Amino acid sequence: MKEILSDVIKRLRNGEYKNEEHVRLSLVCRILEYLGWDIWNPREVFSEFAAIPQEDASRVDIALFMPPQLLRPAVFIEVKAVGKLAATIQSAELQLRNYNRNNQADISILTDGQIWHFYLSSASGEFSDKCFEKLDLCASDISLDDLELGFDTFLSKEAIQSGKAVEEARIYLKRTDAERIMYEMLPIAQRDSDEDPTMSLIDCFIKRCVERGVECPSDKALNFIKNNRHRSINTNSTTTITRSTQIASNIPLSISSQIQKGLFKQSSIDQILVLQNKRGAQASGKEMPTGAFIVFADSIAADATPGFKDDEKGYYLLYSKLIKDGILIPQNQNGTRVYKLIRDYEFKAKSAAASVFMGTSASGPKEWKKK
């Protein structure tokens, strides 16, 4: 499935899915077929299903029916055009809630191709509270292994038929917010540890949890890792293809103090580039062999200059999107508005990273300098 996901991600980034129908046919159905669903059987993969018989306008984009009898819908999937889910999430959740009034599906899904929200329809509370899993295919901190695990667990035909999808969904919903973050951070910490042998898995795990606002003492971290090692991912496998594993090391801005503690190899530090300007920009990152550029979490972006809005390369639009998506968080720094990066982020080019963090059009090589 990794090859399919990798190709889908590439097409998402290239903007090839132009409308909702592209997402439904060329993306969602492609994934469903791999997960074992017979997309050529309209009784099993039912498009435009009338979930409310008396209301002809209320039709689910895709309803998956439980084989072999095919008598009841097991999954509802509501599809939006790429990038449209965030702006319509409340109305879309209301749609799904109404679809489930007459024909309750086990699992309900909202997706725009890139973002996937999974809901346990039978759970109590508001429909938004029923959401137990969210996947972002283009997020820089999630691997293809993580994505494959999510789809296999909650959307494969086998998992739906056996009832394991619902069972796992109930477990996910019972977790506290802190536990969910810990589950999300474990495979990421595993990759951090694999990429920097000087850092233990426990240290990487604690660091990642703290970055997300979860305090995790060593004994608690150790017990959690022991009980959930199946969530860790062996990134040394030759079949593993990830975007996040290209990050050689996640170096915070306080690099000098980390060197003194011996937490990073000097060879890794030599490759770190930094950027700053008088308007508050202070960032660190690393250029990848592919030409992409990783900016590390906690980096600070300057406020945009008036002229940045006229940028012809689209970097101002990217800058605005990162703020809108909550990846760049506004802060006040000595009376100056700046933006803090909440997680590592992969840019397509050094110039894109430089422009976003300088808050103005930039070339890249000129702004990023060796530490």
Q: What are the backbone dihedrals phi and psi of residue 337, each rounded to the nearest 5 degrees, phi first? A: -75, 125
pTM of the predicted protein model: 0.54
Percent of the chain with pLDDT over 90: 35
Cis peptide before 42 (omega within 30 of 0): no
Q: 363 to each of 144, 155, 182, 317, 367, how far by Cα in Å?
A: 31, 44, 38, 17, 7
The pLDDT of residue 55: 66
Q: Which residue is associated with the tokens 């976003």?
A: 356
User: Which of 105-119, 227-241, 255-269, 355-369 is the least confident region?
Assistant: 255-269
Cis peptide before 306 (omega within 30 of 0): no
Closest CA to 297 of 335, 330, 328: 328
Percent of the chain with pLDDT over 70: 86
Q: How far apart are CA 345 and CA 312, in angstroms?
A: 22
pLDDT digits (tens, 9 = 90+) for 41-67: 999 999 998 887 676 667 889 999 987
122: pLDDT confidence band, cut at 50, 70 and 90? confident
Q: 286 vs 270, which has greater pLDDT?
A: 286
Q: 124 vs 340, which has greater pLDDT?
A: 340
Closest CA to 47 of 24, 31, 23: 24
Residues in a beta bridge with 118 = 109, 133
The pLDDT of residue 232: 46
Residues in a beta bridge with 328 = 341
Class for the domain spanning 2-174: alpha beta
Closest CA to 154 of 207, 118, 201, 181: 118
Assess whether pLDDT exceeds 80 at residue 290.
no
Q: How far apart are CA 276 and CA 256, in angstroms?
A: 16
Q: 161 vs 267, which has greater pLDDT?
A: 161
Mean local confidence (pLDDT), 16-37: 94
Q: What are the backbone dihedrals phi and psi of residue 305, each rounded to the nearest 5 degrees, phi first? A: -80, 155
The SS3 of residue 67 is coil
Mean local confidence (pLDDT), 244-260: 34
Q: What does the block give as tokens for 350? A: 């050094």
pLDDT digits (tens, 9 = 90+) for 223-243: 888 777 555 433 332 222 232
Domain map of the chain by residue range?
A: 2-174, 177-244, 253-370
Mean local confidence (pLDDT), 244-269: 35
